[in-house]
Amino acid sequence: MSIIKKIVTFKPSFNLRVIVGLISVVGFLAACAITGFSDLTKALGEQDAKYTARAIEAGAKVYFDQCARCHGADGKGIEGQGPALSSVTFLGKKEGKIEVQKSQRLLDIQWVGNLDGYIRAVTASGIPLKSSNQWEVTHPAFGQAYGGNLRDDQINDVSTFILNWSQAPATAGIIDSPKPGAAFTPKATAVPLTPEQEAGKTAFLKNGCNACHAIKGVAQGNIGPNLSTFGTTAATRFTEADYKTSQGKAATADEYIHESIINPQAFVVAKCPQGACPSGVMPPTFGKTIAEGDLKNLVSYLASLK
C-alpha cells in the first residue's frame, strides 16, 4: 500500500520535470524524424509493393470468379470461349523493366493507350462485337457502370493480376487473340443429331442440366463438369482405375452416362470449372424426375458429344 501511496502522491521536482520532458520531446521528434527519413527513402516504396501485392490477391479472386471460365485458370485461354491473357501476344515481353516486344493485340486493334487501360476498358465495358468467328460469345461488360457486377476497384485489381503474368508470359499451347476480321477456317460440321439425340438435347435443357453443366454451343453452366466432350470421356471412363475403386458399376459408356445421371454420388470426377468437384451437389433425384424415355434419349445425346 505504501508503494502505491508513494506513487500516487509523487511530485516530480522541477529538474526532473524538465529532464523527463526534454527526453520525451527528443523521443517524439526522433520518432517523427525516423518516420520521415524512412518515408523519403524506402518505406513508401515498400508500402506500395505491399498494397500492389494485395491488389493482385484481390484481383486473383475476381479473376477466378469471373474470368477463368472463359480465359482459363492459367490464363492460356479456352478454345471457343476466350483468348489467352498470359501469352506474349497479349502481354508483350519485358526484359527487366524495359519492354522489348509490344503487345501484338494492342498493335492489331490500334489501341492508343497502354495495356492496363485496355484490360480495364474491356473488362468494364465489354466488346460489343466478336473479333472472329472463333468465339461463341462476345466479351460481357463487367463494370457496374455498364450493367455488370464489378466495382471499379475490382476491375483495377483484376488488371493488376493479369499484368502480373507479364513477369513470365506463356508462349506455347495457347489460343491467342486473332487479328480483327481474320476469318477462321470453319470447323468440320458436326454429325447432325438423330431424332432421339435431338429429343435428348431438349430433355437436357428442359430438366435444367444447363444450369450447372456447359456444352459448347448449348449451355454455359459452370458448377459441374463441362460436358462438351462427355461422349469421349465416357467411352473410356469405366475402364479407369479410379472408377473401378469407386461405387460405380458401369461396364459400357452408355451405362456410365446413365449412372452419372441417376446416381451422381457413385463416382465424382476430380475437376470442375471452379476447382475440385464438390460431392453431393448434383441432386440424386433425376432417376425419379426424368421419364424413362427421356432418360434414354438424354444418354444417347450425351454419348454423341465427342
Partner 1 sequence: MAIIGKRLVNQVKTTGFKATVAQRADDVFQRMTTGLSWDDVRGILRGDPPPKPNPRVKPHTESFWFHIRPTFYHEATTTLYPTFRLGLLSALFFAIEIITGIYLMIFYTPSPERAYSSMIDILTNVPFGMFVRDLHRLGAEVMVVVVTLHMMRTFITGSYKKPRQFTWLTGVVLLMMTLGLSFSGYLLPWDQLAFWAVTIGTSMADAAPGVGPTVNLLLRGAPDIGAGGLLRFYLLHVVLLPFIGIVFLAVHYYKVVRWGLSLPPDMEAVGEDSARKVSPDKRVNFLPDIATNEIMYIAIAMAILAISCATWYRAPLETHSNPLVTPNHTVAPWYFYWLQGLLKIPHIIPFLPGDLANGLDKFSANVLGITPKVLWGIVVGPLVFVLLAVVPYIDPNPSRRYGQRKIMLTLGGLFTILILYLSLAGIPTGVPVTGFGFVGGAPPSEIGQEFMPDEGEGELMKIPFDQMIVGDYQVSADPGVADAPELNAIIKTLYYDMQHRMSTADPNGRKLSQDTVATVKIVEIQPDLKQITLDIKYTDDLTGAAQDFTKFKFIHKNSEH
Contact positions vs partner 1 (CB under 8 A): 7-12, 14-15, 17-18, 20-25, 27-28, 30-32, 34-36, 39-40, 43-44, 47-54, 56-58, 60-61, 73, 151-154, 161, 164-165, 167-168, 275-276, 278-280
For residues 129 and 179, the answer to whether their CB atoms sit within 8 Å is no
- In the chain, the amino acid numbered 235 is A
User: Residue 15 CB, nearest distance to partner 1 (Å)?
Assistant: 7
Whole-Å CA distances, 196 to 35, 247, 250: 76, 29, 22
User: Residue 36 CB, nearest distance to partner 1 (Å)?
Assistant: 6
User: Residue 53 CB, nearest distance to partner 1 (Å)?
Assistant: 4
Whichever of 166 and 202 has its CB closer to partner 1, that residue is 166
User: Residue 190 CB, nearest distance to partner 1 (Å)?
Assistant: 35
Nearest to 226 by CA among 305, 139, 290: 305
Query: What are phi and psi for residue 38, nearest 5 degrees?
Result: -70, -30
Q: What is the DSSP letter of 194?
A: P
Whichever of 168 and 182 has its CB closer to partner 1, that residue is 168
User: Residue 29 CB, nearest distance to partner 1 (Å)?
Assistant: 8
User: Residue 299 CB, nearest distance to partner 1 (Å)?
Assistant: 27
Whichever of 91 and 106 has its CB closer to partner 1, that residue is 91
Whichever of 218 and 277 has its CB closer to partner 1, that residue is 277
Whichever of 11 and 288 has its CB closer to partner 1, that residue is 11
- Beta bridge mates, 95: 98
Whichever of 117 and 275 has its CB closer to partner 1, that residue is 275
State the DSSP H helix or E strand holding residue 99, giving kind and residue range, or none if neither. Answer: strand 98-101
Residues 6+ apart with CB under 8 A from 281: 212, 223, 224
CA angle 79, 85, 88 (to 5 degrees): 110
Separation of alpha carbons 277 and 225, rounded Å: 8
